[in-house]
Amino acid sequence: MKPTILVADDEPSIVLSLQVLLQKAGFAVRIARNGEEALESVAESTPDLILLDAMMPRRDGFDVCQSLRANPAYQSLPIIMLTAKSRDVERQKGMALGATDYITKPFSTRDLVITVRKYLNPEATQDGTAERRP
């Protein structure tokens, strides 16, 4: 079964490009267009990883991240903040609230896929392939 990624972003062009990119990389993709939809989607069926925009309507990504981390069931769920907020204070806030990683827009699609694979398969190498063990 393909790993499932929840893309939580309110920008339609970004959602579409991430959906195409991640599906081509072999992942199943679910979409949430605001913070409340993201929390509802996670409660309905926990994804393997979340790409979470910081600036969304109804609940921002920082609030969503904090809410998820407050629930013990989601402590190990990888949450990658994906945002245009590139100042160090925003990065520190995201990480302090429990984000696993923080990627700023614009981003390299190759680097994004490598980062996603890193959190879904910690034994993956830089090019995204699994290491062989003797």
Q: How far apart are CA 60 and CA 35, in angstroms?
A: 6
- 104 residue type, one letter: T
CB 92 within 8 A of CB 124: no
β-pair type (49-52, 4-8): parallel
Per-residue pLDDT of the chain (134 residues; tens, 9 = 90+): 899 999 999 999 999 999 999 999 999 999 999 999 999 999 999 999 999 999 999 999 999 999 999 999 999 999 999 888 767 788 888 888 999 999 988 889 999 999 999 999 866 544 444 443 33
Query: What pTM did the predictor assign?
Result: 0.88
DSSP symbol at 124: B
